[in-house]
Copies of this chain bind each other. A is one copy, B any other.
Amino acid sequence: MPNTNSSFSNAMRIKFPIFVIILEVAIIILFGIFVKYDTGNSHPPLSGAFWLYPLFQDVHVMIFVGFGFLMTFLKKYGFSSIGINLLIATLGLQWATLLQGFWHMHSNEIHVGIQSMINADFSTAAVLISFGAVLGRTSPVQMLIVTILEITIFACNEHLVVSILKATDTGASMTIHTFGAYFGLAVAWATYRPGLKNGHENEGSVYHSDIFAMIGTLFLWVFWPSFNSAIAAPGEDQYRAIINTYFALAAGTLTAFATSILVEGRGKLDMVHIQNATLAGGVAVGSCADLNILPFGAMLIGSIAGIISVVGFKYLTPLFASNLKIQDTCGVHNLHGLPGILGGIASIIAAALQINSNLSAAMQAAALACSIGIALVGGVCTGLILRLPFLGELPDQNCYDDSVYWEVPFEDASQESSVGRP
């Protein structure tokens, strides 16, 4: 058993279950007061929502299987990656149902249905992205707090971007990806661990953990067209969102492969790039997904995303860790941050080119700036709260190690003959 300090062990043993139970009781009470089924008087009508159900299921797989397995690449942190992912998402979707519902109450009632379920799942994606930045360095107790705070701030930012600025962001490049990434980076900055400046022996993969991670990559890849189209307006908009995402991902995957070879210099591919940068096209095309940008426009956006994502992994992540005191375990800046900004810029250009006459380049730019700004401020505040002593701090040497939180069947076998991830 790892030798953790008693304050930390105490937090996990007592505070974690008490906190979870209080939260669940409070949520059930709030649901009892406010939440009703969205049937009968629903907009869109019931039959319309049924059409959304397969798209909801695709998004659901992305949240629980996709994000969960994408983070299993660490050799000794697979249980936590999948388990805490599940914990965050299940808490997050309940909390988001309430928070998003408060913005759209009908006579003091929150109406839930397939659309609200899609939106709730979307909210949790932002938290899961942030989780990727601090993966292995935050405890489940801390992640519960991040979930509650980030979902709350996310709901406000989303309301600002969609209802006040009236910006377009169908695939949520800005409100989910950029927001989640910079929120996570800000938390990472505020909870910087100088003791891990030179890396950690567990911060690497083994052969089979990299293959587990590809389960996550592939399910995200395959279902991304559903993610980018699920909240698009039914009809041609939704149709275009599917098609654009399909081609943006394909183009971005090819450029990610090519760039991975180019930056390595030894003629080899890096699994980190293939696991992550192949998805960057889907992130970047998000904001414009339902616009009439034509397939070649989507492919252009995707191609650029694949390139900048790999370049980010190779050059920016090490720089962030050494110069900016931002440790980014999964490299979410490269998968969600940079491609998300690219998506926002693409939407500004699309608005400026009058591809859709309802759009304003200024409002798109404001949406991008808001998402980044609110994420950074919110993330720093959240990070400072995480450092409150009563939460118990995980010792540096126990980072990236499942055996702190789990009964692990063995201690050493997955650790043999492995080398660190660059």
Chain A residues at the B interface, C-beta cutoff of 8 Å:
1, 9-10, 12-14, 16-18, 20-21, 23-24, 27-29, 31-32, 35-37, 39-40, 46, 49-51, 53-55, 57-58, 60-61, 64-65, 68-69, 72, 75, 78-79, 82-83, 86-87, 90-91, 93-94, 97, 112-114, 117, 140, 204-208, 210-212, 214-215, 218-219, 221-223, 225-226, 235-236, 239-240, 242-243, 246-247, 249-251, 253-255, 257-259, 261-262, 264-271, 274, 278, 292, 294-296, 299-300, 303, 405-414, 416-419, 421-422
Give the chain B neighbours of A204 by CB distance below 8 A: 409
When chains A and B are docked, how far (Å) is the Cα of A294 from the Cα of B35? Answer: 8
Contact of A117 among B32, B50, B243 (CB under 8 A): B243
Whole-angstrom distance from the CB of A11 to the nearest CB of chain B?
A: 8
Closest to A268 in B: B407
Contact A90 B253 (CB under 8 A): yes
Which of A210, A247, A409, A413 has most chain B Cβ within 10 Å? A409
Closest to A260 in B: B17
Contact of A299 among B28, B68, B87, B414 (CB under 8 A): B28
Q: A17-B262, A94-B250, A114-B242 are in contact. List 20 more A-B contacts (CB 8 A).
A: A13-B267, A17-B257, A23-B254, A24-B251, A24-B258, A57-B225, A60-B222, A64-B222, A79-B211, A79-B274, A83-B274, A86-B274, A87-B253, A90-B251, A90-B253, A114-B239, A117-B246, A206-B410, A271-B407, A410-B419
Give the chain B neighbours of A24 by CB distance below 8 A: 251, 254-255, 258, 299, 303
Cβ-closest 6 pairs across A and B: A13-B267, A32-B296, A17-B258, A31-B296, A20-B258, A12-B267
Contact B413 A46 (CB under 8 A): no
When chains A and B are docked, how far (Å) is the Cα of A407 from the Cα of B418? Answer: 12
Give the chain B neighbours of A265 by CB distance below 8 A: 13
Contact B414 A207 (CB under 8 A): yes
Contact B418 A410 (CB under 8 A): yes
Contact A78 B211 (CB under 8 A): yes
Contact A257 B303 (CB under 8 A): no
Contact A46 B83 (CB under 8 A): no
Give the chain B neighbours of A239 by CB distance below 8 A: 37, 39, 46, 49-50, 113-114
Contact B258 A21 (CB under 8 A): yes
Whole-angstrom distance from the CB of A30 to the nearest CB of chain B?
A: 8
Give the chain B neighbours of A407 by CB distance below 8 A: 264, 268-271, 422
Contact B64 A221 (CB under 8 A): yes
Contact A21 B255 (CB under 8 A): yes
Closest to A404 in B: B268
Closest to A221 in B: B64
Whole-angstrom distance from the CB of A422 to the nearest CB of chain B?
A: 8
Contact A65 B300 (CB under 8 A): no
